[in-house]
Each structure stands twice: as structure tokens, then as C-alpha cells.
Structure 1
Amino acid sequence: MDTFPFNADRVSISGKADTAKKAVIGGIKPGEFTGDGGKTINISGQLLPTKIGGLTELQIADVMRSTGEVFPVMRGDGVRLGNYSIKSTSETHKELDRDGVGFVVTYRLALQQEPDETPHSLNLVSNLLSVFDIF
């Protein structure tokens, strides 16, 4: 993720395993491993919209969330993490200017891992280029 103007200052990755619970008499329901439950990536950061921008990129991420777009995610060192979709977005505006936009905007994106065979969005390349301001 390019750090200008869409600054990310914290990333956390968590994974889970799926189990199926089965009813038994007189005890705790045992769980049977049914597979990898996927990973969740949480990305958070701070934007300074009046100084360097970033609200447009945040809006594009929210559109990707609302349309369910699936896209590949790669760490900065080139390691491919898999396909993800944006599960949730949140933003908090602080120190509002007279237009109601915060001088400081903190945000959080929660990405959910999708199966590798999930088809990618037709607009993937143009959306990613827009978010990360490559061209």
C-alpha cells in the first residue's frame, strides 16, 4: 500500500480454523476440524485530507466493500497473501473544518480472505490504480 496520500500505520493479521460442533449427551460438544477458516487483515491509518488528501481513496475502498470486489493482497516485501474482499470500513473525522471534513481522519479497513478460485472484479485494475494513485 502506498503511504501517500493513503497512509497505513498499522496492519494486523489473524487466522481461524473452522470446526463443526456435534451434540452429545452429558458433556461438552466436541468439535471436528472442517478446514481453514481464512484470515482477516485489519488496516488502519490516519489521513490529512486538507494537506495531502486521501478521502478519494477511502471512498474507493468503501465502494469496493459495498460491491464485494475481490482483489489480490501482497505484502510490501512481495509475499502474496491471497485474495481478499473488504468486510468493513470505518472513518472518524477529528478537528472539523467549516465544511465538516476533519483535519485528521482516522480509518480502519477489515479485509476477509476469499478462496483463491474466487473470480476477480472486472474493474479491479482501474480501482486498485485509483486507490494507490499509480497513474
Structure 2
Amino acid sequence: MKECIVVGGGAAGMSAALTLGRARLDTLVVDAGRQSNLVATTLGGLLGHEGRPPAEFYEAARSELARYASVELRQGEVTRAKRADDGSFTVTLGDGRQERAVTVVLALGAEYRYPRVSGIDERWGGSVFHCPFCHGWEV
């Protein structure tokens, strides 16, 4: 049984996994790879990564976590999580496999719902932004 299963491999999930890994806790990170900021050209407001392309950040995070033997990164989806009578969790993955853990961290990120306006898809993250706090400096 794992100590923790982290659902989501975005910045929050990777940060949680780093902390758990440094504590030498047996951790599984399950990531579907659909981070909402991947369409942006750069990151903003993430200390040490200002101006870095999101895909580059995630690749660096995965490489950094690979140094921790207690952290396993797995591509996939979690379709269900159920708490057992003993307080542990059984997590079902999209491929049907199940994993058990003492704790679960839900780092599910954000889903941006932008208006259906002609041309917005091509400009999203480049000249159309969802968050003035995140990208206001660049604009």
C-alpha cells in the first residue's frame, strides 16, 4: 500500500509529490497530462519559473521527481476513489488497475471555460488571457 496517491500532475500535484518524496514516503502521482495552462506560451507567478513555457516546466518537474525512488509517476486517469473501513483509499485507474493508499491528494487543477468567440482558440494564452493576475505583467 502506498502512503499517498496524488491525483494530478500539474504544479500543485508535482509540488505535493516533491514534498512527499523528500520525506521518503511511497507516493504515486497519476497524471492525465491535460494541464489547462499548456496552451499558454509562458508561466507567470510561479517562483523560479517566470516566463518559462509550461511544457518545459512540467518536463523539468518530472525529471526532478525521477530522482526520488519513493515517487512513481504514472500517465493515466483516476476514475474512482473509495474510502475503506480502515480509513485507507482504493483508487481505480482508467485502465482498470487499482492502487491503495493511506492518503489521497486531489490536485485537479482548473478548467477554464472561455467564451465561444471566433478566433479565440488561436489567441488563447498568447493575446487572450484568462487571468489578469497570472498574465497581467506581460500584457
TM-score, normalised via structure 1 length:
0.27
Bigger Rg, which one: 1
